[in-house]
């Protein structure tokens, strides 16, 4: 089932092709369960692992996403840390720094700890990937998410604008 064209590269999107691949199907399901405030930064962060001359496989992308979501149960903190990580790495790359893809999550872990230290909060480990209800951890409302982001010192409007703009740096 062709959905139309990608707003960035203009190639056709085909859901059936994604669904045929087990990892692609699982990745699509995982992303669909996440609130947009976490999905956007996660996709941008995963893009940092893509080699310059090839794409990430669905299985590698799924594995990376699961590893990231297992770092902490605090989804506000994780979203903020991923957004800050992407911003810092892209700034470094634009300034002529290292453009090689990330190999692990060590930098994200440092940023996560740094944000936790700045706000005086310990980083809660993820007890499990999803709560018992089967629903991913998420804010009860947009207002709750905005308060959480502001508590972390992140402007929620700038974060949303950055991760929703087609063709923007992600």
Which tokens in the block code for residue 18?
């994604």
Identify whether the C-beta of residue 111 lies closer than 8 Å to the C-beta of residue 81.
yes
Q: What share of the chain is helix, strand, coil (3-state, %, to 5)?
A: 55, 5, 40
Each residue's pLDDT, cut to its tens digit, for the chain (170 residues) gives: 566 677 777 777 677 777 778 888 899 899 999 988 899 999 999 999 999 888 889 899 999 999 999 998 888 889 999 999 999 999 998 998 888 999 999 999 999 988 878 877 666 665 434 444 444 445 556 777 777 777 767 777 776 666 554 444 44
Q: Return the closest-CA partner of residue 47 out of 120, 110, 99.
A: 99
Identify whether the C-beta of residue 43 lies closer than 8 Å to the C-beta of residue 170.
yes
The domain locations on the chain are 2-164
pTM: 0.68
Q: Return the closest-CA partner of residue 82 out of 114, 43, 41.
A: 41
Identify whether the C-beta of residue 101 lies closer than 8 Å to the C-beta of residue 49.
yes
Q: b/e map of 35-50 (b: 16 or more CB within 10 Å)?
A: eebbbbbbbbbbbbee
């Amino acid at each position: 089932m062709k959905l139309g064209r990608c707003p960035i590269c203009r190639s056709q999107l085909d859901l059936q092709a994604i669904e045929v691949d087990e990892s692609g199907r699982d990745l699509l399901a995982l992303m669909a369960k996440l609130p947009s405030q976490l999905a956007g930064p996660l996709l941008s962060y995963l893009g940092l692992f893509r080699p310059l001359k090839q794409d990430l496989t669905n299985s590698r992308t799924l594995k990376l996403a699961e590893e990231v979501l297992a770092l902490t149960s605090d989804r506000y903190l994780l979203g903020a840390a991923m957004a800050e990580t992407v911003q810092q790495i892209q700034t470094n790359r634009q300034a002529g720094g290292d453009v090689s893809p990330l190999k692990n999550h060590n930098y994200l872990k440092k940023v996560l700890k740094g944000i936790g230290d700045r706000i005086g909060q310990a980083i809660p480990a993820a007890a499990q990937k999803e709560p018992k209800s089967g629903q991913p951890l998420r804010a009860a409302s947009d207002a709750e998410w905005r308060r959480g982001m502001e508590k972390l010192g992140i402007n929620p409007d700038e974060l949303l604008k950055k991760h929703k703009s087609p063709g923007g740096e992600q």
